Amino acid sequence: MTNLKKRKITNIFFLTISTLTAFLGLFWLVMILGDLFIQGASSINWKLFVDDFAPPGFGDGGLRPAFVGQLIIVSTAFIIGIPIGLLGGTFIAEYGRNSKTAKLISTLSDLAGSIPSIVVGTFIYAVIVRTTGHFSAFSGSLALALIMIPVMLKTTENMLNLVPWQLREAAFALGAPYYKVIFQIVYKSASVGLLTGAVLSVARIAGETAPLLFTSLNNTFFSLNITKPMASLTVTIYRYAMGPYNDWHKLAWAGSFVITVFILLATLISRFIVNRRYKN
Amino acid sequence: MNDKHILKVEHLNFYYSSKQVLFDINMNIEKNMTTALIGPSGCGKTTFLRCFNRMHDLYKNNRYEGKIIYNGENILTMRDSINLRSKIGMVFQSPTPFPMSVFDNVAYGLRLNGIKNKAELTDRVENALMKAALWDEVKDRLNTTASGLSGGQQQRLVIARALAVEPDILLFDEPTSALDPIATAKIEELMVELKKITTIIVVTHNMQQAARISDFTAFFYLGKLVEMGKTDEFFTRPKNRQTENYISGRFG
Ligand SMILES: Nc1ncnc2c1ncn2[C@@H]1O[C@H](COP(=O)(O)OP(=O)(O)O)[C@@H](O)[C@H]1O
Ligand SMILES: [Mg+2]
């Protein structure tokens, strides 16, 4: 065989394999989403959002406590995680730029971002749940916030680095102090990117179950108290899907459908914003 | 000190860390005149210009030696660089509009100086835009974002922003190198006008531009001031061989 022929055959071989695997991946994605949409959409009705959990056998309960709980847990995580990520990223890209401390924080944050979420959950369990003596929605929010911070921090760092130095210098040249330059010029220039980072961070945590299992746990009743255990959508889906009842399975499908649509939308919106902003 | 000299540079040395870039510069800048700084790329023009508003303070390990006397005080040891920067403005190579409206851009320096009164702001913004020959083009779009303006308009906006705080001195670092010939001509025309109200120091790599707009020209080479003189004499009867070689295009 000539060298050229050999290369051609190798080429065709790898092209075929990679195309096939791509289709295989796509196939499963379509299957999963398709199944979810068929099963989930058919289980959706307005009672889902207004009714509380029904005891097994009593049929027809809703998921209201889980939706509200999820919203509270994720919002609290947002309020804690986003500012910390934003300020950390700002330190790295601005005040600490090029310093050893900044590089260290950036690297540590990358490492933290790759810790499995279940480990974050057990960590919060050990530090908060064990010391306070009980599960709480707030500890769940803390676990989710810890997962969000590296995402927001990295995005902030990258987005602030995209703002040209000359723009900052132009503000300094008018006599602006550094904090005003950051808040009035840099954040504003990077606003779309920062917003996208926030949306991505939410998308990253909204579907997490593992870190909530040891923290916010669950609650069979409607609750708004973040110092007590609270139902969340993901843990409820987990519990219902594992349960023996048909009604429960339907509710689990419905819940999965809602959360998937939410995360898909969040991801799509942020992609859309980024594409529109940075295309040219 | 002669009072027509608004700035007096005395034995100025400048270092980036341990690397010395400016060597014993001595120079007087005349009030209401335009001084052009020319010289081959890398000779220290930008570095020199950025000493006047202490831009180098932003970065660690930069060091000045010597004096730049302004109003009887040494700029290089002044405590209040913020006040200094409202007296000595700067315009950069490419336009730097802030991500806000045309109005807010021009009002930025005024607000920094504590001016909040709406009527006064409006007045001074309009005034600055007039001086920068931009008013007619933007008066109907003061509240739209500045990034929508053309490059030449953006550069005049930046000039208006600098003018709004009524500086004594304006520093320009190759202000037209990112602009097309028509926009360049407008900026040059404007700079000639501006001499009436301020003193200008301009870095340019374009000798024709220096000849067109400046009263004094200073030639820098390898971090040293080689020659400075009245622009017409400088270009027609240079005293130094290096200057002669440079302006006749034999190097650089
Ligand atoms: N931030 C910096 N750190 C170290 N060296 C620099 C820095 N900026 C400029 N230089 C060096 O200083 C010299 C003068 O640069 P510059 O003032 O920008 O020249 P010009 O504006 O005349 O082209 C050059 O050799 C350049 O490489
Ligand atoms: Mg330069």
Q: B22 C-alpha to center of ligand 2: Å? A: 13
Could you list the residue range(s) of the whole structural domain that residue B195 is in? 5-94+168-247
pLDDT-derived band at A93, boundaries 50, 70, 90: very high
Select from B83, B90, B93 the Cβ nearest to the Cβ of A173: B90
Closest of B247, B200, B195, B198 to residue B221, by C-alpha: B247
Tell me: pLDDT of B1 over 60: no
Q: Specify if B125 maps to a domain.
A: no
Q: What angle do CA B231, B53, B48 make, to 5 degrees?
A: 50
Instruction: Supply φ then ψ for residue B237, to 5 degrees.
Output: -130, 65
**Whether B99 and A185 lie within 8 Å, measured CB to CB:** yes
In a domain, B135, yes or no: no
Q: B54 to chain A: nearest residue by CA? A: A173
Check: CB of residue B216 under 8 Å from CB of residue B37: no
Report CA(B174)–ligand 2 centroid distance (Å).
7
- Which candidate from A170, A175, A188 shows the least CB-CB separation from B112? A175
Kindly report the average pLDDT of chain A as a whole number: 91
H helices of chain A, in order, are 3-43, 47-50, 64-90, 100-113, 117-124, 130-132, 137-162, 165-172, 178-180, 187-189, 191-206, 210-213, 233-242, 246-278
Atom of ligand 1 nearest to the CA of B49: 17
Q: What integer best gives the mean pLDDT of chain B?
A: 93
pLDDT for position A41: 86
Which of B36, B39, B47 shows the shortest CA–CA distance to B252?
A: B39
**Position A236 confidence tier, pLDDT thresholds 50, 70, 90:** very high
Question: What is the domain count for chain B?
Answer: 1
| A to B CB pairs, distance under 8 Å | 60
**Rounded Cα distance, B147 and A183, in Å:** 19
Distance B43 CA to ligand 2 centre (A): 8
Q: Which residue has the higher pLDDT, B211 or B2?
A: B211
Query: Is the CA virtual torsion B84, B86, B91, B92 positive or negative?
Result: positive
Confidence of residue B251 (pLDDT cuts 50, 70, 90): low
How far is residue A38's CA from residue A57's CA, in Å, rounded to a whole number?
24
Return d(Cα A68, Cα B228) in angstroms, integer. 75
- Assign B84 a pLDDT band (cuts: 50, 70, 90): very high
Residue closest by Cα to atom 6 of ligand 1:
B16
Asked if residue B121 belongs to a domain, the reply is no
The single residue listed with the structure tokens 């991801």 is A267
pLDDT exceeds 70 at position A280: no
What is the structure's pLDDT at A58?
A: 74
Judge contact between B148 and B95, C-beta under 8 A: no
CB-based pocket (< 6 A), ligand 1: B 16, 19, 21, 39, 41-47
Fold (topology level) of A49-279: MetI-like fold (1.10.3720)
Q: Tens of pLDDT along B30-51?
A: 999 999 999 999 999 999 999 9
Query: pLDDT grade, residue A1 (50/70/90)?
Result: low
Above 60 in pLDDT, residue A204?
Answer: yes
Q: State yes or no: pLDDT of A165 exceeds 90.
A: yes
The CATH number of whichever domain residue B203 belongs to comes to 3.40.50.300
Report which bound ligand comes closest to the CA of B41.
Answer: 1
What pLDDT digit, counting tens, does each position of A107-150 carry?
999 999 999 999 999 999 999 999 999 999 999 999 999 999 99
Of B96, B99, B161, the CB nearest to A166: B96
In a domain, B24, yes or no: yes
The neighbouring-strand residues paired with B169 are: B88, B199
Q: What is the mean pLDDT of residues A4-19?
A: 91
pTM: 0.87
